[in-house]
Chains A and B, each alone.
Chain A
Amino acid sequence: MSATLEDSLAILGQEVPLGLVDKALKELWGHDEVRTRASLMNFAIYSEDPASITPNTRLLEEITSEHACRGLLLLALPGGEPHARAWITAHCQLHDGHKSVCSEQISFVLEGGTMNQVRNIVFAHLDSDLPLVCWWQGDLSANFSERFYSVMDMLFIDSSSWKNPAHDFAVLAGALEQSTARFRVYDLSWLRSHLFRTALASCFSNATALEELRHLQFVEITHSKGHRLAGLLIAAWIGVRLKCKLEASDGIKLVTPEGQSISVTLSESGEGEALQRIELRSANASLSVSRDCGAAYVCTTVQIGDHRHDQMLPADPVTDAAVISEQLSRLGGQSLYLQMVPMLRGMLR
């Protein structure tokens, strides 16, 4: 274990022998009158990045402020002799100004060893009867195995962090085909655009705007540097929602069931939020959503013939923890994502 990693372990709280985690947790709560333990789920973060310990502990702290859970932090470091260490700590929030409500965090650093060991350690420390939500950070490595995902109820991934999206989407699709896979999957790269998409939908809240959809010719998507995947997700969403087929061509071309051809262009501009602007155009109309009105809002502009209407709507949360928190409060909504994945994979080819 590197010295930097060793230094970052302090944030994990009290180190305890692996076999005594439960006992140590009981002691943590046993004598405490003013603190209440609360839990609605098991929330595990899996990472293979040694630098992730501090940011992930902060993330868990943020998530537990809205969703009481048993937090499990798993750092798997391949190579070397198998060696496992464990720590416990608690994240507390004040309620009504006096009573403290706390979520516990158990952290594991697992060097060497196999995924079976990782899985067994996770199994042994779940809060019983509560669902297991797992945030798998980074690529879907060989450790993303059936033995592990078959116990998950919800899986968070971030496809924009994948080095090889075509490969990882294939792994994900393969996993979802397994009869033992019962998890719902949420892609942060997709969730980050929820309110952006809501804003686009609100542009079509009347019949005149809807009518223009039949004549749609261009979709222009601007994304920030390194976020082409977020742009592709939006393109695939529009394609699927309009029941289009993806046509082989130089760029991306969608064809509606009525035979109308829509050309999709993606361009990269600047830093910041993944999605910067979407514009849908026909000969007579332009409907757009953009970030031209500051960080906290998106603005929509609907121009149909001579009529123009502008509106401001709240923007999506920016931090990963806030996006996950939002989704945990929202539940549902994944069938649409799964419907989109085949078209997205087509676009990646």
Chain B
Amino acid sequence: MSELENPFQETLIQRHRADSCTVVIFGATGDLTHRKLIPALYNLAAGGDLPQQFKVVGFARREKTDDEFRAELEESNKKNSRQGHDATLWASFSQNIDYHRSEFQDLAGYQSLKLLLEEFDKERGVPANRLFYLASAPEFFDQIMLMLRQSGLNEGVGGKWARVVCEKPFGKDLATARHLNEVVNATFHEKDTYRIDHYLGKETAQNIMVLRFANLMFEPNWNSRYIDHVQITCAENLGMEGGRGAYYDTAGALRDMVQNHLFQLLSLVAMEPPTDLSADSVRDEKVKVIRALRRYQGVDEVAKNIVRAQYIAGSVDGVERVGYRQEDRVNPKSMTECYVALRLFVNTWRWQGVPFYMRVGKQLPKKATEISVHFKYPPQAPFPTTLQRGTRNVLVIRIQPDEGISLRMLSKLPGVQLLLQPVKMDFRYSTSFGKASPEAYERLLLDAMAGDATLFARRDEVENAWSFIDEIEHAWHNDGPQPPMNEYPAGSWGPKEADDLLAADGRVWRRL
């Protein structure tokens, strides 16, 4: 009998079932492992979703014992676990966590890792699957891949699989992303490669497809005939706290947010219906959206359609904030954008002429990620107040926080006169479903173990996105005249130039 034929597993209804495996985390003493990965695995264990004989091996270079490592993870799990921390369950779960000390560059360390994994297999009586999670800075990816290959760890044992999960950022431009892809694909098959984009693990992002394709009423109107434009906003009310400036100043908003998260949201909103829900059918449709983006070449086109900016001193929530260039670990002459607004066009039949406006920024008035679909005015306007601002139908998908969907429509104001008033129908996850959603990392880790790559970025998605982003970066950072770097006070909704971008088309940013 094969594993698929476990006759008792049928009771595990509609849940992904993870195959029995060992997860090796590279960079296991880091922040990501402590705050996200271990709490996610612990919560999966608490929900009974981890497979039997599950093991975790933490790989990092500092000297420490298994017990010290477990104790550190326990402390951070207490702070970060979504469903709280239970000492007994932790004791059982953490028994299966081991620490393996080695440098990423040291082949001997991988050979001893291999022996350790073989020892686990011996204890189990059968070989297990292996999931390698790269939670290290991206500059180590090459080295880790090379060592995995040289030690033979990239090959599954006894018919079992070996997979790799790569964290963001996946490259900093097309060339580096291509290089990484080549290195990764020289070591693991594409089907065994899982590139994390944690936005896709969010319940609301997954719900976009459900909203569009499981309800009949939206899809027939989901095109240039009925939709005037779409806005995607990702606002953060924080700046460069906690030393984040060091990394951020080398990346900027376009690379850090747009290339991955916002393009994923755009793909979900603009894609054609997939033929089925298999990972490749869905990703085939998503990548078509990115490929169909109208390209902006040269400084003028970029300047006309894309606005970049940095915040200057201001205040958010009544607290004074310094400007971007005065932030800790940021170059005082930095030309890195911490705000970007884009006017995009998806050159397909469905979206002909419909602009997709995107904006993402730091130190904005509040934290919110939302997609809003703005419908056209009715073809004929027999009522007096239609065609006024604020009267179009707008469908809003709130990704975070306050996850939900709302629809604005017009209604008659009670009274003898015929006056119309916009009203809002609102659906909120928190009040409709009492249950809290799982953390994105829980879902994504489970999917990677279960072999479902739908919510992970495929090689062509990543490369197509970078190829689009590169052209903008080149225009911004070329040696000749560059599009301007604009400014906005911290705590405002971005630079005036971003408002002008929409005003030129007779539109305004939605009020959040």
A residues less than 8 Å from B125 (CB atoms): 206, 208, 304-305, 307, 309
A residues less than 8 Å from B1 (CB atoms): 207, 210-211, 213-214
The answer, among A64, A68, A194, A309, for a CB contact under 8 Å with B52, is A309
Q: B14 in the interface, Cβ–Cβ < 8 Å?
A: yes
Q: Which residue of B lies closest to A329 (CB)?
A: B435
Give the shortest distance, in Å, between A330 (CB) and chain B (any CB): 6
Q: A66-B435, A297-B88, A304-B125 are in contact. Are A210 and B5 (CB under 8 A)?
A: yes
Q: Which of A322-349 contact B (CB under 8 A)?
A: 329-333, 336
Per-residue A-contact encoding for B440-482, CB less than 8 Å = 1, 0 else: 0000000000000000000000000000000000000000000
Q: Which residue of A lies closest to B15 (CB)?
A: A330
Q: A93-B434, A296-B89 are in contact. Are A202 and B3 (CB under 8 A)?
A: no
Asked if A207 and B3 sit within 8 Å, CB to CB, the answer is yes
Asked if B86 and A296 sit within 8 Å, CB to CB, the answer is yes
Q: Which of B177-231 contact A (CB under 8 A)?
A: none
Q: B126 in the interface, Cβ–Cβ < 8 Å?
A: yes
B residues less than 8 Å from A1 (CB atoms): none
B residues less than 8 Å from A197 (CB atoms): 8, 11
Asked if A38 and B10 sit within 8 Å, CB to CB, the answer is no
Asked if B13 and A333 sit within 8 Å, CB to CB, the answer is yes
Q: A200 in the interface, Cβ–Cβ < 8 Å?
A: yes
The answer, among A64, A95, A210, A312, for a CB contact under 8 Å with B3, is A210
Asked if B431 and A309 sit within 8 Å, CB to CB, the answer is no
Query: How far does the alpha carbon of A210 sit from the alpha carbon of B92 in the complex, in Å?
Result: 25
Per-residue B-contact encoding for A165-208, CB less than 8 Å = 1, 0 else: 00000000000000000000000000000110111111111111
Query: How far does the alpha carbon of A198 sit from the alpha carbon of B51 in the complex, in Å?
Result: 10
Q: B416 in the interface, Cβ–Cβ < 8 Å?
A: no
Q: A286 in the interface, Cβ–Cβ < 8 Å?
A: no
Q: A134 in the interface, Cβ–Cβ < 8 Å?
A: no
Asked if B92 and A311 sit within 8 Å, CB to CB, the answer is yes
Q: B430 in the interface, Cβ–Cβ < 8 Å?
A: yes
The answer, among B20, B52, B124, for a CB contact under 8 Å with A307, is B124
Q: A65 in the interface, Cβ–Cβ < 8 Å?
A: yes
Give the shortest distance, in Å, between A42 (CB) and chain B (any CB): 15
A residues less than 8 Å from B382 (CB atoms): none
Q: A241 in the interface, Cβ–Cβ < 8 Å?
A: yes
Asked if A68 and B48 sit within 8 Å, CB to CB, the answer is no
User: How many A residues, CB 8 Å from partner?
Assistant: 54
Q: Which residue of B lies closest to A206 (CB)?
A: B126
Asked if B52 and A311 sit within 8 Å, CB to CB, the answer is yes
Q: A294 in the interface, Cβ–Cβ < 8 Å?
A: yes
Q: A28 in the interface, Cβ–Cβ < 8 Å?
A: no
Q: B6 in the interface, Cβ–Cβ < 8 Å?
A: yes
Q: Which residue of B lies closest to A197 (CB)?
A: B11
B residues less than 8 Å from A330 (CB atoms): 13-14
Query: How far does the alpha carbon of A198 sit from the alpha carbon of B14 in the complex, in Å?
Result: 13
Give the shortest distance, in Å, between A45 (CB) and chain B (any CB): 18
Q: Which residue of B lies closest to A69 (CB)?
A: B434
Give the shortest distance, in Å, between A245 (CB) and chain B (any CB): 15
Dominant SS among interface residues on chain A: mixed
Asked if A205 and B51 sit within 8 Å, CB to CB, the answer is yes
Q: A314 in the interface, Cβ–Cβ < 8 Å?
A: yes
B residues less than 8 Å from A297 (CB atoms): 88-89, 92
Asked if A241 and B8 sit within 8 Å, CB to CB, the answer is yes
Give the shortest distance, in Å, between A305 (CB) and chain B (any CB): 8
Asked if A101 and B88 sit within 8 Å, CB to CB, the answer is no
Per-residue A-contact encoding for B328-363, CB less than 8 Å = 1, 0 else: 000000000000000000000000000000000000
Query: How far does the alpha carbon of A203 sit from the alpha carbon of B11 in the complex, in Å?
Result: 14
Asked if A67 and B434 sit within 8 Å, CB to CB, the answer is yes
A residues less than 8 Å from B6 (CB atoms): 201, 204-205, 210
A residues less than 8 Å from B126 (CB atoms): 206-208
The answer, among A237, A302, A332, for a CB contact under 8 Å with B14, is A332
The answer, among B53, B430, B431, B433, for a CB contact under 8 Å with A311, is B53
Query: How far does the alpha carbon of A330 sit from the alpha carbon of B433 in the complex, in Å?
Result: 12
Q: B7 in the interface, Cβ–Cβ < 8 Å?
A: yes
B residues less than 8 Å from A38 (CB atoms): 431-432
A residues less than 8 Å from B12 (CB atoms): 198, 201
Q: Which residue of A lies closest to B434 (CB)?
A: A66
Q: Which of B402-435 contact A (CB under 8 A)?
A: 430-435
Q: B506 in the interface, Cβ–Cβ < 8 Å?
A: no
Query: How far does the alpha carbon of A95 sit from the alpha carbon of B430 in the complex, in Å?
Result: 8
Give the shortest distance, in Å, between A273 (CB) and chain B (any CB): 16
Q: B9 in the interface, Cβ–Cβ < 8 Å?
A: yes
Q: B312 in the interface, Cβ–Cβ < 8 Å?
A: no
Query: How far does the alpha carbon of A208 sit from the alpha carbon of B52 in the complex, in Å?
Result: 13
B residues less than 8 Å from A238 (CB atoms): 8
Per-residue B-contact encoding for A44-82, CB less than 8 Å = 1, 0 else: 000000000000000000001111100000000000000
Q: A206-B124, A312-B92 are in contact. Are A300 and B11 (CB under 8 A)?
A: no
Q: B484 in the interface, Cβ–Cβ < 8 Å?
A: no
A residues less than 8 Å from B89 (CB atoms): 296-297, 312, 314
Give the shortest distance, in Å, between A97 (CB) and chain B (any CB): 12
A residues less than 8 Å from B434 (CB atoms): 64-68, 93
Give the shortest distance, in Å, between B9 (CB) and chain A (any CB): 5
A residues less than 8 Å from B46 (CB atoms): 314
Per-residue A-contact encoding for B1-43, CB less than 8 Å = 1, 0 else: 1110111111111100001100000000000000000000000
Q: A260 in the interface, Cβ–Cβ < 8 Å?
A: no
B residues less than 8 Å from A207 (CB atoms): 1-3, 126
Q: Which residue of A lies closest to B126 (CB)?
A: A206
Q: A5 in the interface, Cβ–Cβ < 8 Å?
A: no
Q: A314-B47, A333-B13 are in contact. Are A204 and B431 (CB under 8 A)?
A: no
Q: A65-B434, A66-B435, A211-B1 are in contact. Are A309 and B124 (CB under 8 A)?
A: yes
B residues less than 8 Å from A124 (CB atoms): none
Asked if B5 and A300 sit within 8 Å, CB to CB, the answer is no
Q: A208-B126, A213-B1 are in contact. Are A68 and B10 (CB under 8 A)?
A: no
Asked if A336 and B3 sit within 8 Å, CB to CB, the answer is no
The answer, among B13, B14, B52, B431, for a CB contact under 8 Å with A95, is B431
Known contacts A68-B432, A205-B3; 18 further A-B pairs (Cβ under 8 A): A38-B431, A197-B11, A198-B11, A201-B8, A205-B52, A210-B3, A210-B6, A241-B7, A241-B10, A296-B88, A302-B52, A307-B125, A309-B52, A309-B123, A309-B125, A311-B92, A312-B92, A333-B11
Task: Identify 24 residue pairs between A and B in the complex whose beta-carbon atoms are under 8 Å apart, listed by A's number.
Answer: A93-B434, A95-B431, A101-B430, A194-B11, A200-B8, A201-B6, A203-B52, A204-B8, A205-B51, A205-B52, A206-B124, A207-B126, A210-B1, A238-B8, A296-B86, A296-B89, A300-B52, A305-B125, A309-B123, A312-B89, A314-B46, A329-B433, A329-B435, A333-B11
